[in-house]
Amino acid sequence: MGPAAEALETRDDLLVYGRGNAIALFALQMQYNIEDIEAVAAVAVTDGFNDKKCDLVYVDRADGRIIIAQGHASEKHQLKSAPANKASDLNTAVSWLLSGEIDSLPAPLRSAAIEVRSALQNDEIRHLNLWYCHNYEESKNVQDELRRVVATADGLLRRHYTSAIVAVSEEEIGKRRLEELYSRAGNAVLVTDKFELDIEGGFEAGGSEWNAFCTSVAGSWLRQLWRDYETDLTSPNVRDYLGIIRTEQNINNGMKTTAQEEPDRFWIYNNGLTVLVNDYNVDRTHKPWRLTIEGLGIINGAQTTGSIGTLDDDRAESLSDMQVLVRFVRCNDNDVLSEIVRYNNTQNKVEAADFRSKDAIQERLREEFKSIPDADYLGGRRGGVRDAITRRKNLVPDRAVAQCLAAFHGRPNLAYNETRRIWEENKTYAETFSDQVNARHIVFAYSLMRSIEERKRELAQLSDEDRTNQQDKQIDFLRRRGSITLLVTAIASCLETILDKPIANAYKLRFRENCSPVRGMMHWKSVLNSLLPFVSHLTSATDRGLQSQERVKEAISLFQSMVESTVEHNKAQYVDFASVVAST
């Protein structure tokens, strides 16, 4: 068992979704440096009967990406490679998601299909990734099947989404690939060989814990590097080379065209590369200078290198005369290195939240969270991939905090569909993270959202035979996209009824004790169980992914009416909850 497989065995937060799904989630977290994978899993996993061969649907509008995954795992391993028919099942998945009759889909998949189609129709997607995740060795049979799935998906996109420019790709994530992702998370430089090359000149710069040498290298040298090492070169770059879409809007295709037709202008058209090295030395004794490099990992420039490296032989003649700007960076401090990789990596772009990390409110919240038990709030300061995959159990992710605040204060659509706006737009940010927001109020709202996610997992783990009719209705609702943020809004709107007193300022709501988020979840549990029977009244608002404000308003009004009409029946639970809540 390799290090990645061993690490996965410790991830009880992922294994609760089944081993096949756990592999997909673990790969997703490592590939895209997702800190809050539990929140992603709560939405993306299409658990349940009749999932149309589709185990996970991840939609990231901000990154322009959809991932559709099929998971399979076996303890017996009677076969060396994974069953290829499971890979072909993705044909069924993409067909239903992209073109199937919406009304004939089961609720969880219907909700996913609506979100997928909406993102495609709104021209928000550039990449459709099809994953087959398993715990076997990778095989040619599986890869052949996956290429057929790509053809199916590409045909459906061309037929039903004619204006969309989407690159469709496949990936088999088996034992080798999972170990590779894990290795990359811990090792910034996978290519450790020594390289020597002649250069015409350059200059050196340095700072605290780092040094760099800036020069120009021949395109032919980069092409040979790619041919020798391929994506091992891009170990610090989590998304690797993205391939070519033949359209004028595609950067990679444009780089290939420039390299072939205008090589003398490549240097000025292209931003160049940032390359992490273990060490470098420049011998300036004679012209040309001699540059020696030990180890090499491309932080920024995977697309440039991949474009040059994949040029056909008959079109690569001009590369020896083509120059590319490169910064070779040496850094031995892991914290500084993590920041260099994050801020230089255009494919692992700086998130909107990063620009708020030094905001006075985030500084204050980080300081306040120091006194909250078992809670680690970074407020825009995110760690690297290694921090994500080692699972910081007490992490309170800033994205989840933004979501819970927006939902708790009456904006479920913003919380689910437009979280990025909270960090990008000054007005929306100021409304969400107002001066009145404090750490203990965040714990109050955040623990409500987490308690709903936990209840969803508990219901999903029950077999169909063990769930009551009422529980079936609850899990049907909770599997719908946007349902969790909608329920947070609905429950928050009923707190005057639950607490039996007027609430002049909802930002003052907090638990009387200075408790951890986990303790807060325990406080919410009995109230949540009392309110879940009413969630069927919220279902209509999820049909359009919370984007119909009128439907959201009507659904919440019905939910409030049910809570008010049954207050006497649930009085004991409400009184107990009110005793642990402060509102002034």
CATH number of the domain to which 152 belongs = 3.40.91
pLDDT at 383: 55
Domain boundary among 301, 333, 348: 348
d(CA 288, CA 570): 83
DSSP structure class, residue 457: H
- Range of lowest pLDDT (67-71, 188-192, 326-330, 367-371): 188-192
User: pLDDT at position 149, please?
Assistant: 94
Question: What's the confidence (pLDDT) of residue 516?
Answer: 97
The predicted model gives 251-278 an average pLDDT of 79
CA distance 259 to 409: 53
Banded pLDDT at 248 (limits 50, 70, 90):
very low
**pLDDT at 241 > cutoff 60:** no
CA distance 243 to 253: 9
Q: Which helix (H) or strand (E) holds 70?
A: strand 65-72
Which class for 580: exposed (0-12), middle (13-18), buried (19 or more C-beta within 10 A)?
Answer: middle
pLDDT of residue 512: 97
My answer on whether 439 and 383 are in the same domain is yes
Q: Are 263 and 141 part of one and the same domain?
A: no
Asked if residue 242 and residue 130 are part of one domain, the reply reads no
CA 332 to chain centre: 28
User: Where is the domain boundary, 148, 183, 218?
Assistant: 183
Q: How would you write 389-424 as a 3-class SS string? A: HCCCCCEECHHHHHHHHHHHCCCHHHHHHCHHHHHH
pLDDT-derived band at 54 (thresholds 50, 70, 90) equals confident
Averaged confidence pLDDT in the chain: 87
The highest-confidence range among 315-324, 433-442, 547-556, by mean pLDDT, is 433-442
- Supply the pLDDT for residue 35: 81
Beta-strand ranges (E) seen in 456-557 are: 510-511
What are the pLDDT digits (tens) for 274-292?
999 999 999 999 999 999 9
377/237 same-domain check:
no
Least confident of 245-259, 317-331, 490-504, 547-561: 245-259
pLDDT band at 351 (very low <50, low <70, confident <90, very high): low
Measured distance CA(474)–CA(535) in Å, rounded? 7
Q: By residue range, what is the domain housing residue 531?
A: 352-582
Q: Contact at 8 Å (CB) between 13 and 162?
A: no
pLDDT of residue 186: 65
Q: What is the pLDDT of residue 336?
A: 79
Residues 94, 152 contacting (CB under 8 angstroms)? yes
In the chain, the N- to C-terminal Cα span, in Å, equals 55
Domain identity same for 343 and 373: no
Residue 197 zone, left/alpha/beta (φ > 0; ψ -120 to 50; rest): beta
- 232 and 162 assigned to the same domain: no
Distance in angstroms (rounded) separating the CA atoms of residues 268 and 370: 48
pLDDT at 321: 79
In the predicted model, is pLDDT for residue 230 greater than 80? Answer: yes
| Site of tokens 């011998």 | 283
Q: How confident is the model at residue 307 (pLDDT cuts 50, 70, 90)?
A: confident
Provide the pLDDT for residue 31.
86
- For residue 276, the cross-strand partners are 297, 329
Q: Are residues 356 and 323 in the same domain?
A: no
| Residue where a domain stops, chosen among 132, 151, 183 | 183
Mean pLDDT (whole number) for 420-426: 88
Q: What is the mean pLDDT of residues 223-243?
A: 72
The secondary element (H helix, E strand) that includes residue 276 is strand 273-277
Q: How many CB atoms lie within 10 A of CB 216?
A: 15
Provide the pLDDT confidence category of residue 194 given band limits of 50, 70 and 90: very high
pLDDT of 313 above 50: yes
Give the number of domains in the chain.
3
Judge if 448 and 563 occupy the same domain.
yes
Q: State mean pLDDT over 251-261.
A: 68
Confidence at residue 51, expressed as pLDDT on a 0 to 100 scale:
56
| Residue 243: predicted pLDDT | 46
> Cβ(563)–Cβ(494) under 8 Å?
yes
How much is the pLDDT for 242? 46
Q: Give pLDDT tens digits for 125-165.
A: 999 999 999 999 999 999 999 999 999 999 999 999 998 88
Rounded to an integer, what distance in angstroms lies between the CA atom of residue 71 and that of residue 133? 5
Q: How would you class 466 by CB atoms within 10 Å of its CB: exposed for 0-12, middle for 13-18, buried for 19 or more?
A: exposed
Whether the ω angle into residue 288 lies within 30 degrees of 0, i.e. cis, is: yes
One domain, residues 447 and 487: yes
**What percentage of the chain reaches a pLDDT higher than 70?**
89
Is a pLDDT exceeding 50 seen at residue 306? Answer: yes
Query: Contact 65/125 with Cβ under 8 angstroms?
Result: yes
* Beta carbons of 90 and 147 less than 8 angstroms apart: no
Torsion of Cα atoms, 490 then 492 then 496 then 501, to 10° = 170
What is the sign of the dihedral through the CA atoms of 489, 491, 497 and 500? negative
pLDDT digits (tens, 9 = 90+) for 378-405: 876 655 555 556 667 789 998 899 999 9
- Calculate mean pLDDT across residues 288-305: 89
> Distance between CA atoms of 488 and 411, rounded to whole angstroms?
10
| Residue that has been written with the tokens 């340095």 in this structure | 206
CA distance 43 to 61: 14
Same domain, 136 and 250: no
Residues 430 and 299 reside in one and the same domain: no
- Identify whether residues 25 and 140 lie together within a single domain: yes
Q: How many CB atoms lie within 10 A of CB 494?
A: 21
| Predicted local confidence at residue 411, as pLDDT | 96
Confidence of residue 473 (pLDDT cuts 50, 70, 90): very high
pLDDT at 346 over 80: no
Calculate mean pLDDT across residues 337-351: 62
What is the greatest pairwise CA distance in the chain? 90
In this predicted structure, what is the pLDDT of residue 545?
Answer: 73
